Structure 1
Amino acid sequence: MIIKKMKLSAAVVAMAGMILTSAPVNAAPKETSKPAAQTQKKENDQAKSEYANKVVAKVKSSSTLNIRKKPNTDSKILGKMKRGALGTIVEKSDGWTKVKSGDVTGYVKNDYLVFEDDIQSFAEKNIKKVAKVKTETLRVREKASTDADVVTLVSEDETYKVKKQNGDWAKVKVEGETGYVSKDYVDVKYKFKKAKSMKQIEAERQAKLEAERKAREAKEEQVQSSQSSSESSSSNTQSSGGSQSKKSVPASASVSGSSTGARAANYAQQFVGNPYRYGGNSLTNGIDCSGFTQQIMAKFGYSISRTSSAQASDGVAVSTSNLRPGDLIFYGSGGSINHVAMYIGGGQVVHASNSAPYPKGGIKISNAFYRTPVCARRIIQ
């Protein structure tokens, strides 16, 4: 009897051993998926917390959402929200919500708003992300790797549109160059807009009209200056039998180079605040860095190349320690040029920086050494 029990116990142990050795190991995937689920939950909770008491306008991109003084459609319009404009809830009711966005506080119809917990999913489909640099100087690399070549350098607080994200890297576009920045050194966030008051909208309209007027006048002066320069150049060629380089000082110039350079620098600054557009040629509606310097030089009778790399061969070389207003400063990486700015004195430059809204981008004034210059050239002798 005792032997039978021992045999039975041995059989049970053997069977248990077979089950343990042959059974698949399922526990590991469950253990690894649990932290992932916790991470996702944490991100969702953070998003909910971030958008608590918030609303976003969900009108069509071609229209705007009115913010009114009182909760009815006959009330005075105080301002407007574009699609993707973010606001804070002041008071919520069935049909209308009182919101504060930008400098405007008023009532908006609930039908055209996305509320709190729904903002995250709306943003994922409709709002672009931007990367704001949070270190003094950051390398933009050709690929998502610290071993990749450096395309260019960017400075602290500058903001760039995120094309896509690749793990710990964000793909951005900087002054026409596309590259990757480490997410350890940038804050990647949705680029929500803000409401504008009717006073702001009218001021912008007037500013645009004034800019267009100045652009017309500048174009007319440029044509007259070019005609005068051409006539003077032709006269000099006939009398001397020589020819004049398109990049040399116009024969009609009656003031010193330093004085003309200062005037060019002052003229360039009147366009500060206007937008950047890669490949653009409009000082008021969008222009890139080399287009900007080319247009400014043309205003004073100097014809230079179109791209920053080509402009770096125009004029004569000058040390960055001996700059004067009107000189051009060039930036780049690995010896290549990818950006140009005009020196305005006082250690500053004016340039068409990037596609971010002013003052982070557009035509703006910066420290001349916000990046290490590759070289400098003097066009106005």
Structure 2
Amino acid sequence: MVDDFRFWTVAKKYAFAKEELSIVEEMKDGAKEVGKLSKDGVCYILQEENDGWLFVESGDVRGFVKTEQVILGDEADQIVQKLTEEAKKEAKEQKKTYKGIAKLLTEATPSVPESENGAFFHTRSTVKQTVVDKVYALCNADFVTIHEDKNTESRAVGTLNKDNICYILADENAEFVYVESGDVRGFVENKFLDTDKKEKEKAEKSLLTQATAAASALKNTKEVISLFPTTKTAADQNDDIDNIISNKISATGEDQFVTAQEVVKPAENAACYYTLTSVKSGVPNGELRTSIVQFASQFIGNPYVWGGTSLTNGADCSGFVQSIYAQYGYTLPRVAEDQAQYGTKIPVEEAQPGDLIFYARNGYIYHVVMYAGNGETVEAQSSRTGIVHGTVNTNNAVWAVRILEDTPSTVSGIYGSDISEVNATLLQYGQSLGTFKITHYCGGSCCNDEWAGVTATGAPLVEGDTIAVDPTVIPYGTKVIINGHIFTATDCGGAIKGNRIDVFVNDHNRANQLGVYYTDVYVLK
């Protein structure tokens, strides 16, 4: 368990079973089976491990498979392309909206419950939705316990006071509601929560009582209707009663409401993963920009639909970026014109991956794209081309907007990301540099002449980003892809000559354990 316990959504990297196979709990032959995947069944690669193992997810099953057991890479992408064409053809013939290829895929069947699968939390990445829309609730009692289970006898993991805010993640209509408040997650008795749904029911009951009383007094239907009209005025009134709690929170300011007091740390809370969803994103520090571009890229090829917000069924330019950002806990305005005024305006030239760039013509904002780096974009372009990987239209680009909250991860010798995590999309693979010998080093004197916490170029040492290279082979500043992970060439070493790369990690023992291997290296586009 790590400090930020939340899961985060990554793009789907497909793999297909060559034959029926077992997904296992550990990276060793004969390990316990946690799931069964049939021939041609799909799984998604979350992380490439040592010795030819892959950590995968398929349906509700998470565990390990051997590389030789699955079809992956270009061959897997060809299968996906074929299935996509089949699904689109079928949708067209049936005059239905294309909704992706999910129904054509077979996922794994669990062999053990999630609670008995020791591999489930090997990483916090998942291809499933992790950030959900906020369903607000306010505590209506002076002191309320958040329980670890669905009963009052279970342990207290947190407490709420009157008017403290929480968010309903599951079981909204049950006796015990599953909520999140700050970093506290658990079960609260429904009767202690005020929600939009409950307040609406109260308001409707009150209106009905008033209408009944009026009908009894007037005994005239037309007069009653005039008192309680069903015109637009009534619709506006209904909109108000639909969102009584939400409107109260909005009027006050969500950040003005206090969250729960923590009693039990998330790592010790058995209720923490009752659902993997949250109102916040769990993307690790330093990974947010890479993650959001990677996530957006998986929808390339899906249709453009004017007015749409569906990442699979179709979205327009602003609906696309709005839906992508929503997956990371950001609420954007609906249309490009309003989005262009949201966040911090910056020059187009200063845009970083994940920032939004806006196009204008005759003083009017008409298009928005997500910047992907190196002059490239991911965007819902047009009804003819759909969602595409494009390039920045420098003629019409007027400014960029920065919304993402960057958390610096470049401190001396710090952990930036897992070096074995797959964070590069297929579209990011550029020219092959050939096969390289890969070794590992730490920042201590055992691996360096002196410890300064910085590289030969003056950049900080960051695990998951820093590599030492021969600058005559790979120039400083070059970003490369090694086994699906993106690194930056910022360091060198006396022994690093020719086709050799030294990957930085924080711990010397781990550097030794990771050993030596050979693999193909690619330039990041």
Class of the TM-score when normalised by the shorter of the 2 chains: 0.3 to 0.5
- Per the normalisation by structure 2, the TM-score is 0.28
